[in-house]
Structure formats: C-alpha cells, structure tokens
Chains A and B, each alone.
Chain A
C-alpha cells in the first residue's frame, strides 16, 4: 500500500522518471519521422525553395553597379542630380579607372545593359567607352571630362549621371516599378512613356483569360463529370478513358492539333465553307488570337476540372435526389437545392487547379496566341531567354506568385479551403 502513496516522480520500469522516459520515446519517434521525410525535405529545399528564394532575391538585387564602378559611385555621392549640371572632374577620373578595370574583366557591358533597362542608350555609351578606355593611361591622361565628352556627348547628359546615381545602392525596387510600367523619377515613381507600357495590359489580360478558361472548363466539365459519376461503373470506366487519353497525350501534340483544326485553311473552316455557313473569302480567324488560346487551353486543362468534380460527385448519394423528388421537388429544384450544393467542393477544387495552372501557362499561348492572346508568363520567358533581363523576369514572377497567394487566401475566406475536395 505504501508504494502507491509514495510522493515524487512516477518511475518507469527501468527506474528513470516516467516523464523523462516518455519524452525520450517521443523524441525518438519524432527523429525517426524526420529521418523518413529527410530525403524529401532536402529535395524540396535544394530544387524548389532555394531556387525560388534566389529568383526572388534577383528581383531586388542591384550590386552590379556598386561592385563594378566602386570609385565612381563614391565620387558621385556629393553630386546634386537636381542641379542640372554635369558632375565635376573627380567623378570622370574615377569613372576612367573603374571602366578600365571593368573593361579588362569584360564587365563593363553588363553594367551598361543593367543601366540601359532604366535609361535607353546607356548600354552603347559603356560599350563605346570601354573599347577606348582600355588604351588610356589612367594615371596621367586627364582631364577626363573632356576625353569622355569627346568619345560621346552622352557622357555630358545629367540624366545619365542621375541614372547611375539612382541605381548605385545595392538593392533597388526598380525592377518592381518596371513591372508595373513605372520608373524611378527624380521625385518618386513616374509612368513610363506610353509606347513602352505593357505590363498592366498583360496582367489584366492574363487574369481575364484565365478566368474565361476556368469558366468554360466548369461549363464543359460539369455535365461530363455528372454523367461519369451516375453511369454504371463499367460504362463510366470506359468513358473515363476517353477523358484520360488526351490527358496522357503530349501537350505539344494537342496544341499543334488545335493549330491544324482552327487555322483558316483548317478542318473547321473547311467544313463551315462546305456547309455554306461562311464564304470562302471570309474564313474565320480562330487561331493566333485570344479565341485560339482560350479554346486550346480549355481543352488542355479540362481533365484537371473533370477529375476533382467526378470524385466529389461520386460520393453524393443518389438517394438524396430521390428523396427530394418524392417530397415533391421538380427536377430543377432537386438538382439546384440538393445536388448542386454538394458538388460545390469539386467545382472549387477544379477551379483552383485550372486557374492557377492557366495563370502560369506559356507554351500554349506562345504557339496559338499570336500577339493578342499571350500571357504575362510569355514575357517572363522572353526576359529569361531572349532579353536576359533576369531581374525584371524575377520581379514579374514574384508578382505572379504574390497574386496566386492572394487569390488562394481570398478563396479560403470566401469558400473555405476545407471545403475543397480532391477525392
């Protein structure tokens, strides 16, 4: 009896306090679980989180100016950009030294390209100067101001110097401003020239078209999913294959097939002309525009809508509908008041999938979108592989990422993410 009334910690069989023993067992279990998921964690970290972090970092990083032109940046600090005058000789002398070192290392064109994003024309100033400065004796060849002005009168433009000054800090919001059609002015952000504004337009178009694609997917997928869910298993499995076959076919094959179908000398136009619905000289333009992109992407993304809808509808008991009808509901009321609300989680899941996938699409719009049907992701691809403005691409990517997160949050608030069912 006295054993049970003993005060102090409860002991385990081996004499250690039970609490510690339990903790140890729990920790061991946690460690084991961690070890099991460690490969995945490492994989995600190395291939996903780090690159994304690196990409996001590039959208604000701007060390190239201060690293390549260190002396010039320091010398420029005392210069007043609003004075409307060119900087003094000391700045030009510093530039001569910096530029000579940079030209040796072949870095001067990169600074030039970087600054050219902000003020067109700077790139050629740096290229031309770099070629000449290499030959100068930078110790005693002064005065440099005159020599630079001889090379190109652009070196006497205060705007060029204020651009260098504005972009000398190590970090910048310039890329983000650029992706909103803005630029850094003398006093705060200002609009870019009208003939260079493009990103707001593209962003609005991307949102509008993704929405249109999502809606047309819902409209087409709902009846299909309903039929699949309500047919006997054998027939529905057969039909399911018809849904999955295109899903397993290569994206490029499907896109090219649509090209063949929709083009002016294509199958659909030929049929319409043969039926006499349109004249031979008035064939419909259905590709290389928004319409082509919406049709093709709806087809490509349709399975992502059908599958979640199907799996949700599969779980809705047919007895509910029968019960509603036996209580006097019309077909429509039974569907709208009883069946539809239960299928909403499927629509939600499908819409999230389709919408987020289509915001980021770029291969299909590139192939069938012409100029009016391209998305903002086509610009990201363009800046990554053609114009090499990686900072701007990163900023656009970051904006797109933020947009998706905001939409996800809004969706969670309105529909509730718990209501989404993928199966």
Chain B
C-alpha cells in the first residue's frame, strides 16, 4: 500500500495545482456520455437550454463506455473530475454498491410531474437503484438488409441462427449478455425459464453450443456504431445494435435496413452523480440533474433520437422529429406495435454472474 499512496501523492501534487485553478476559475459542469447522435440529443435537449438559463458552461466528455473503470480510478486517486455521468442501469447499480455514486432522494431532488405526481411515482419501476435517475428506455435489437433477405424478411429473433434461410454474416455484441438469452430462447427454452437454465453449467454449455452453430459467421462488435456501418456496407445480413442507431441509419440516412423488434432487449440509461465532489460542485450537479430530468426535457430528447423517455408523464408529449418532421412514437421501443415480444434482461442475475460467464464466454471466443 505504501507505494500506491506514495505514487498517488506524487501524481496528485503534480496534477492538482493546475486543475484546482481551472475549477475555481469557471462555472463549469463536466458531463460524461456516450457520444454520437445520443450526446447530440442531450446537447439539444438539456445542455443548451441549461447553459442559456444559468450561464454554466457544459463540457461534454464521451467516456461512458469506460465510466466504471475511470470512476474507480478517480476515486482511488482522490480526484474526481466528472460532475454528472450517463451510464446504463447495471453499471449504475454496480457504482452504487461500491459507493462510487451518490444516493439520490428521488422525490426531494427531482422535479415532480406537471400534475404534481412525485418523481418516484412518475418514474415507477424504472428506479432500479437509489443512485440512478433514468432518462431513456432503449433496446438492443436487430436490423437486417431488406435487399438481402429475399421475399421473406425475418419476423423472429431466431432468424439469426437460421443460416439456410438467411445466409451471410451476422453481427453480435462481444459480450454474453443478451446473446446467451437469445441462444437459449431459440434452442427451445421458454422465456421465463431462461435464467433458471442459464444458472446451471449445462445451460451455459447449451447456450454456447447454440452460438457455436453460427460462430464462423459472426462479426463481433464492441461499439454501437459498428452494426449500422456493417449493414450499410452489406458486410452482414443482420446484426444487433441499439434501436436509436438503427433509426438514424434508416430514417436519417435512408439505408436499405429493416427493423426486427422480436425479443428486443430492454435496458435503461440514465444519470448518476459521482461521490467525492466538493459541496459546491455537488449542488451544481444536482441542480442540473433536476432540470435535465423534468417531464418536458425528457420529452424533448425524443425529438432527436428514438429512445423512449423514462417518465410516464413525458410519453404524451413526445412529438415529431426535430428535423425530419416524422412522428417519433412508432419508432420507440416501447410502442405497442414494437413491444409485442420483449425480453427484459435480469440486471441482478447478471450483476451476480457476470464475471464467471464473461470468463467462459471470452475463452470460448478466443478458441
């Protein structure tokens, strides 16, 4: 431990001086998110109006993919430079468990709905952790090339395992989450038994064996932009990615891509506030949080990207796309037509089993 402390001390004395100065100087918020069209939608819906209202300058950092690792490192070094961080629900739970995210009193700290409903009721079941304020419901789902699937576009997620009807490559995310569930589902496991089966070693083998049937035809992705690119190039016939990315490829860039909503995997994305901020910085971050998660702001974000707002009271306010002028509601993962058969992945199960399954999955991939 001595060495760790010593090097942390040396590093912090070397780094602190200019940083402390920078923070005193300006009225700034560093907000961390995922980049691309998602960050752009936040800038339009939250950052710009907030800056116009309060004069606080907002710095956009795009490191959310590594947020847990970086927050942990900042916490160990005792120098947290982020004010508000956008993470998925499971990461928020992890950060909360480890004491790296502030606990939030949802009713006291967040704005109520316009009709006075307290925030905790308005968000409802989506408040999966006491450190987390959800913004959007998004889903991981499949897109396919309309010109490469012939006259029978896929209607079931199991099309990804059907190499005869849909020959060609597929793209899947380089992680076991979702892929294992889809594999078991298509291997004949009932939807509500998936996690029971996956909890046994035989179930894990069964899932991996099912994935092995298409292993040679899979391009594994780690960034959400990869699948739309691969589809646009005609490299893959179908592939999983976040529904908003597919929306922008289809509606904004007119690519020959269709959506396959069957077994779309629901997930939440939202804000956390890191622990270890000075009182002034924390107060400013909370003020931003209250502003950015009120009913109107969440509905505004849906003008720029096809993700469903997390507040019940925002849903009726969702209107048309800001530039294209098309109705956004039918493109939301929560739209009844799209959510006939959804898969809600079990955060808690994955929190407990992630490390073990990752080890097996990564070894399986490398062989």
Contacts and interface: CB of A to CB of B under 8 A. Distances in A.
Nearest to B217: A285
Interface stretch (A88-96, A190-198, A338-346): A190-198
Contacts of A371: 220, 365-366
Contact of B69 (A264, A265, A385): A385
Nearest to A125: B352
B209 to A, nearest CB: 12
B355 A116 contact: yes
Nearest to B360: A195
Contacts of A117: 355
A101 interface: no
Interface stretch (B6-14, B109-117, B246-254, B281-289): B6-14
B99 A106 contact: yes
A371 B65 CA distance: 20
A287 to B, nearest CB: 9
Interface in B215-269: 219-220, 222, 233-235
A121 interface: yes
Given A46-B10, A385-B69, A57 B351 contact: no
Interface string A370-399: 111010000100101111100000000000
Given A46-B14, A123-B352, A127-B352, A370 B219 contact: yes
B366 A196 contact: no
Contact of B363 (A106, A196, A388): A196
Contacts of A159: none
B68 interface: yes
Interface in B301-357: 351-353, 355-356
A201 interface: yes
B362 interface: yes
Interface string B42-77: 000000000000000000000001101100100000
A421 interface: no
Interface in A193-240: 195-198, 201-202
B98 A109 contact: yes
A249 to B, nearest CB: 21
Contacts of A264: 169, 235
B68 A263 contact: no
Contacts of B355: 113, 116-117, 120, 123, 387
B359 interface: yes
Contact of B233 (A46, A198, A265, A366): A265
B235 A263 contact: yes
A204 B139 CA distance: 39
B358 interface: yes
B98 A57 contact: no
B126 to A, nearest CB: 21
A127 B355 CA distance: 14
Contacts of B366: 198, 201-202, 371-372, 374
Interface string B4-26: 10110011001000000000000
Interface in A265-302: 265, 288
Contacts of B1: 61, 63
A50 interface: yes
Contact of B7 (A54, A63, A121, A198): A54
Contacts of A127: 97, 351-352
A124 B235 contact: no
A105 interface: yes
Contacts of A325: none
A110 to B, nearest CB: 6
Nearest to B76: A390
A374 B366 CA distance: 8
A288 B367 contact: no
Given A46-B14, A105-B99, A121-B356, A385 B66 contact: yes
A124 B69 contact: no
Contacts of A379: 362
Contact of B3 (A46, A53, A105, A120): A53
A109 B3 contact: no
Contacts of B220: 288, 370-371
A57 B359 contact: no
Nearest to B215: A371
Contacts of A107: 99
B7 A382 contact: no
A121 B11 CA distance: 36
A51 interface: yes
Contacts of B65: 385
Contact of A198 (B68, B351, B353, B363): B363
By Cβ-Cβ distance, the 8 closest A-B pairs, closest first, are: A106-B99, A124-B352, A120-B356, A50-B7, A198-B363, A371-B365, A109-B97, A385-B69
19 contacts: A50-B11, A53-B3, A53-B7, A54-B7, A58-B4, A63-B1, A116-B355, A116-B356, A120-B355, A196-B363, A201-B366, A202-B366, A263-B233, A371-B220, A379-B362, A385-B65, A386-B69, A388-B68, A388-B69
Interface of B: 1, 3-4, 6-7, 10-11, 14, 65-66, 68-69, 72, 94, 97-99, 169, 219-220, 222, 233-235, 351-353, 355-356, 358-360, 362-367
Given A53-B7, A61-B1, 10 more contacts: A50-B11, A53-B3, A54-B4, A63-B1, A117-B355, A120-B359, A198-B362, A264-B235, A372-B366, A388-B72
